[in-house]
Amino acid sequence: MTSQPRIIKKYPNRRLYDTETSSYITLSDVKKLVLDNIEFRVEDAKSKEDLTRCILLQIILEEETAGAPMFSSDMLSQIIRFYGNAMQGMMGNYLEKNIQTFIEIQKRLQDQSRQMYGKNPILNSEAWSDFVKMQGPAIQGLMGHYLEQSANAFLEMQQQLQKQTRNLFSTFPFPNFSGAAPNQPDTPQNEPGKSNDNKS
């Protein structure tokens, strides 16, 4: 039996109400739910519309404006360009898989640290915490750089697909297809026309 997500209601005055604790909460409290891996759903108090993504985007915006941002302006611009693009859905899946890969790498590092520091769980926890505190900015920068490279690779793949598609259709002998015009002088179909001109 799967547990139901924790319901958080958002009222017109922008206040968030946690139905489990029967109290108003802030974005910081919602962020803590995310960090604690607690499943929740933010919904409009009247219409019941799902507002979870909107709230998560607000948290990301606050994180990006405070401290060291994870996304560069160039990467954000590239992401914006994919909205309305035919490959928008693929881009979302691509980034999601890359983030999942990064999480798996993080788990492997944690497992390695446990092996290095033996069976003492307290030592493991403290050692990993100290490591993250010292290397946190570097790890965050690494993740941002990794995602930016992935986005650039995806953009290059999109451009290559578009180029291949144009090249493919330009070889088709469609009389009204503009892409075929540059190739017409080199095609054998023009030869009969030349022979007819010579006869006349």
Please tell me the distance from the alpha carbon of residue 151 to that of residue 158, in angstroms, as a whole number: 11
| Residue 95 domain boundaries | 69-173
- pLDDT at residue 123 in the model: 47
Is residue 51 within 8 Å of 43, Cβ to Cβ?
yes
Encode pLDDT of 33-85 as tens digits.
Answer: 999 999 999 999 999 999 999 999 999 999 999 877 888 899 889 889 888 88
The answer on 141 and 73 residing in a single domain is yes
- Whether residue 196 lies inside any domain: the answer is no
DSSP string for 68-108: S-SS-HHHHHHHHHTTTSTTHHHHHHHHHHHHHHHHHHHHH
Q: Is 8 exposed, middle or buried (0-12, 13-18, 19+ CB in 10 A)?
A: buried
- pLDDT at residue 180 in the model: 46
The answer on 89 and 47 residing in a single domain is no
- pLDDT at residue 23 in the model: 96
Residues in the chain, pLDDT under 70: 1-2, 109-110, 112-154, 157-158, 164, 168-200
- Nearest in space to 44 (alpha carbons), one of 80, 72, 14, 86: 14
Please tell me the distance from the alpha carbon of residue 55 to that of residue 28, in angstroms, as a whole number: 11
**How many Cα atoms are found within 13 Å in the side-chain-facing hemisphere of 197?**
5
**How many Cα atoms are found within 13 Å in the side-chain-facing hemisphere of 177?**
14
Q: How many domains does the chain have?
A: 2
- pLDDT at residue 141 in the model: 64
- pLDDT at residue 172 in the model: 62
- Whether residue 197 lies inside any domain: the answer is no
The answer on 78 and 157 residing in a single domain is yes
**How many Cα atoms are found within 13 Å in the side-chain-facing hemisphere of 126?**
7
- pLDDT at residue 92 in the model: 79
The answer on 100 and 58 residing in a single domain is no
- DSSP, collapsed to helix, strand or coil, labels residue 16 as strand
Please tell me the distance from the alpha carbon of residue 199 to that of residue 32, in angstroms, as a whole number: 86
The answer on 75 and 61 residing in a single domain is no
The pair of three-digit structure tokens given for residue 175, joined into one six-digit string: 């009389």
Q: In what order do the strands lie in the sheet with 16-18?
A: 23-25, 16-18, 6-10, 40-44
